[in-house]
A and B are shown apart, each in its own frame.
Chain A
Amino acid sequence: MMRMVALRLLLTLPILLGVSIVAFVLMRALPGDFAQASAGTTTISPEALDQLRRNLGLDRPVWEQYLAWLARALSGDLGTSFATKRPVLGELVPRFMVTAELTLVAGAMALALGGATGLASARLRGRVEWIVRGWNSLLLAVPNFVVATLVVLLFGLYFPTIGIFNYVPFATDPLGNLASMVLPGISLALTVSVTISENTRAAILEVASQDYVMVARAKGLSRGTILRDYLGRNALTPVITVAGLQLAALLGGSILIETIFTIPGMGQYLFDSVTTRDYPAIQGIVLVAATVVLLVNVAVDIAYARVDARVSYD
């Protein structure tokens, strides 16, 4: 087991390195000058600009800049925000926690909704299968920011007394915080539920065709028992895996949802950083998000191998 975990992490290292190169190059390929952008003004004297360039290490070769940047990033120094002049990491961590919560809430909702529709379409077939199919097609076609905007419109028109922009931190009011996550969570979960629904359906159909299910049915076990102990358990593993892999979609979607519902998470931070051209912040967010996605993928792989004895990575 330890061997597998180590191997899997080792295989992820080169990809992480690649991710860091992309994040670095992206922000060095800016039109104009990194130093000028960092000064935040175009009316800066050439001498001051030269000084700034030396301070930022921009006069050194690119690969040297990259290595220095990587070494700092590894020790937790993601640079200083152009906008607030404070370390990016310090700004990022609390916002990341908020986004992580939103992602978990949305993920749970997507799992519940997708699991239910997928199960219904696999077990009931016929008309239900078609209703679920149509519903999924529709969900796939309605982007999350459209859902969120329509939700805001609906509440504005018919329930103007309910405040939907009242984000409260979890520490001050846990219940109020969870309540403020419901609408953003749903907006984010709908699209993702489609993937989970389709995979649940496929997994249930696959398991239902196995011999041991036929045996269970032949020896007269009740439908409920078969569903719970035979179908449910065996179909759950692939579904959970797919759910884990949807993290990237959830993180991407959170940018829009947080901006619409004014939730102070990583997505809104990215949006703000893009509008203020705060390049170190953008770089930090991109790096952290990609790293989290990669690590979660590894965790999902490992969990999958742990649950399913047939999987081996050796």
Chain B
Amino acid sequence: MIEAFRRPGQRGRTMVAIGLAMLLVLLLVVALGPSIAPYDPTRTSPDSLAGPSAAHLLGTDSIGRDLLSRLIVGGRGTLLITFVAVAMALSAGLVLGLASGYVGGKLDLVVMRVLDVVFAFPVFLLAIAVVAALGPTVRNLVITIAIVYTPTMARVVRGPVLGVKRWDHVEAARSVGVGELSIALRHVLPLVVSPILVQTSLTLANTIFTVTALSFLGLGPPPPDPNWGSMLADARQFMELAPLTVVAPACAIVFASLTFVVLANGLRELLDVGGR
């Protein structure tokens, strides 16, 4: 093994660095999107299922659309949905978890029982049912994902808050007359950031899965907007003729989730967050 990997702190730092570099690639795709795509991702051409060439670096799909362009623009859609949905789940989870853990008592009891109910559903099954009820649009997809991942976030926030709120500095702040809201936000929240960061990263990876899987089943953003999940599903029909049409979106999905898995593992090591 590489020597640097033997020093514990270094290991986490290396992984976080790799994760951040991969994240940068994803962010560039989101930021630049259509402007770096060589073609219009919805423009068809008679040159269908072509292999890689100078004109089409990754070839074309079954109705002659440029694969690379669809991958870039589709990635932008997938990632935007992911980021917005996780941001919503994170905010809701922060509010619920902090309120539930810090205030405690009846509020905690009610919030936790409600979350228990949501936990009883397999995440993906709940996501399908909610999308089926609301209808498959980008907005509903975001709402669905925010709903299914909020409980996990709330739980991850609540756990450490329960411990930290009993620490001496909290009592000290209270004794000099700091308001409760201010204590919760400025003296408790900063101390529970590490597990939240790790969980956010894991949730981003899970959300990539959920978004692409829903699109794979045809419950994602409606066509003709490209999307990694639907690209993979559509390509299955001709995959023996043009394996790249399947392999390319598969690699894109794996790259995106690997980014967040690596980040999560690195952060866990670096910030010394317990096992799971």
List residues of chain A with CB under 8 Å of any chain B CB: 14-16, 18-19, 21-22, 26-27, 29-31, 126-127, 130, 133, 137-138, 140-143, 145-146, 149-150, 152-153, 156-157, 160, 198, 202, 248-249, 251-253, 255-256, 259, 270-271, 274-275, 277, 282, 285-286, 289-290, 293-294
Report yes or no: B253 in contact with A146, Cβ–Cβ below 8 A. yes
Please give 19 more A-B residue pairs, beta carbons under 8 A apart, in addition to A145-B216, A145-B232: A18-B114, A18-B116, A19-B117, A137-B258, A141-B258, A142-B257, A143-B209, A152-B239, A153-B239, A153-B243, A153-B246, A156-B240, A251-B125, A252-B123, A252-B125, A255-B125, A274-B219, A282-B129, A282-B133
B87 at the A interface (CB under 8 A): no
Query: Once bound together, how far apart are the Cα atoms of A103 and B203, in whole Å?
Result: 24
- Chain B contacts of A255 at CB under 8 A? 124-125, 128, 217
Report yes or no: A275 in contact with B117, Cβ–Cβ below 8 A. no
- Contact of A275 with B218 at beta-carbon distance under 8 Å, contacts A150-B250, A282-B132 already known: yes
- Chain A contacts of B128 at CB under 8 A? 255, 270-271, 274
B150 at the A interface (CB under 8 A): no
Q: Mark B224-247, 1 if CB is under 8 A from A, else 0.
A: 000000001000100110010011
Report yes or no: A290 in contact with B121, Cβ–Cβ below 8 A. yes
CB distance from A302 to the nearest CB of B (A): 17
Query: Once bound together, how far apart are the Cα atoms of A133 and B266, in whole Å?
Result: 12
CB distance from B49 to the nearest CB of A (A): 14
- Chain B contacts of A15 at CB under 8 A? 113, 116-117, 120
Query: Once bound together, how far apart are the Cα atoms of A126 and B6, in whole Å?
Result: 9
- Chain A contacts of B23 at CB under 8 A? none
Report yes or no: B120 in contact with A143, Cβ–Cβ below 8 A. no
- Contact of A26 with B217 at beta-carbon distance under 8 Å, contacts A149-B250, A289-B121 already known: no
Q: Mark B204-221, 1 if CB is under 8 A from A, else 0.
A: 010011001100111100
Report yes or no: B239 in contact with A18, Cβ–Cβ below 8 A. no
- Chain A contacts of B114 at CB under 8 A? 18
Contact of B123 among A30, A153, A248, A274 (CB under 8 A): A248
Report yes or no: B240 in contact with A256, Cβ–Cβ below 8 A. no
Query: Once bound together, how far apart are the Cα atoms of A253 and B209, in whole Å?
Result: 11
Report yes or no: A140 in contact with B261, Cβ–Cβ below 8 A. yes
Which of B118-146 touch A at CB < 8 Å?
A: 118, 120-126, 128-130, 132-135
Contact of B258 among A138, A149, A270 (CB under 8 A): A138
Report yes or no: A149 in contact with B232, Cβ–Cβ below 8 A. yes
- Chain A contacts of B236 at CB under 8 A? 149, 152-153
Taking residues whose C-beta sits less than 8 angstroms from the other chain, chain B's interface range is 35 or more
CB distance from B212 to the nearest CB of A (A): 7
Main DSSP-derived SS at the A contact region: helix
B262 at the A interface (CB under 8 A): yes
Query: Once bound together, how far apart are the Cα atoms of A282 and B243, in whole Å?
Result: 34
Contact of A145 among B213, B240, B276 (CB under 8 A): B213
Report yes or no: A156 in contact with B239, Cβ–Cβ below 8 A. yes
- Chain B contacts of A289 at CB under 8 A? 121-122, 125
- Chain A contacts of B125 at CB under 8 A? 251-252, 255, 270, 285-286, 289
Report yes or no: A137 in contact with B265, Cβ–Cβ below 8 A. yes
B105 at the A interface (CB under 8 A): no
Query: Once bound together, how far apart are the Cα atoms of A273 and B54, in whole Å?
Result: 44
Report yes or no: B243 in contact with A19, Cβ–Cβ below 8 A. no
Report yes or no: B217 in contact with A30, Cβ–Cβ below 8 A. no
Contact of B120 among A19, A30, A31 (CB under 8 A): A19
Query: Once bound together, how far apart are the Cα atoms of A159 and B135, in whole Å?
Result: 39
Give 6 closest A-B pairs by Cβ, nearest first: A252-B124, A18-B117, A252-B122, A141-B258, A141-B257, A248-B122
- Contact of A290 with B239 at beta-carbon distance under 8 Å, contacts A26-B130, A256-B213 already known: no
- Chain A contacts of B83 at CB under 8 A? none
- Chain B contacts of A141 at CB under 8 A? 205, 254, 257-258, 261
CB distance from A237 to the nearest CB of B (A): 17
Query: Once bound together, how far apart are the Cα atoms of A18 and B113, in whole Å?
Result: 9
Report yes or no: B1 in contact with A251, Cβ–Cβ below 8 A. no
Report yes or no: A27 in contact with B133, Cβ–Cβ below 8 A. yes
CB distance from A142 to the nearest CB of B (A): 5
- Contact of A22 with B216 at beta-carbon distance under 8 Å, contacts A141-B205, A202-B275 already known: no
Q: Mark B25-59, 1 if CB is under 8 A from A, else 0.
A: 00000000000000000000000000000000000
Which of B164-208 touch A at CB < 8 Å?
A: 205, 208
Report yes or no: A290 in contact with B120, Cβ–Cβ below 8 A. yes
Give the residue name and chain of the B residue nearest to A127 (CB): B1
Report yes or no: A140 in contact with B122, Cβ–Cβ below 8 A. no
- Chain A contacts of B126 at CB under 8 A? 286
- Chain A contacts of B213 at CB under 8 A? 143, 145, 256
Give the residue name and chain of the A residue nearest to B126 (CB): A286
Query: Once bound together, how far apart are the Cα atoms of A103 and B213, in whole Å?
Result: 19
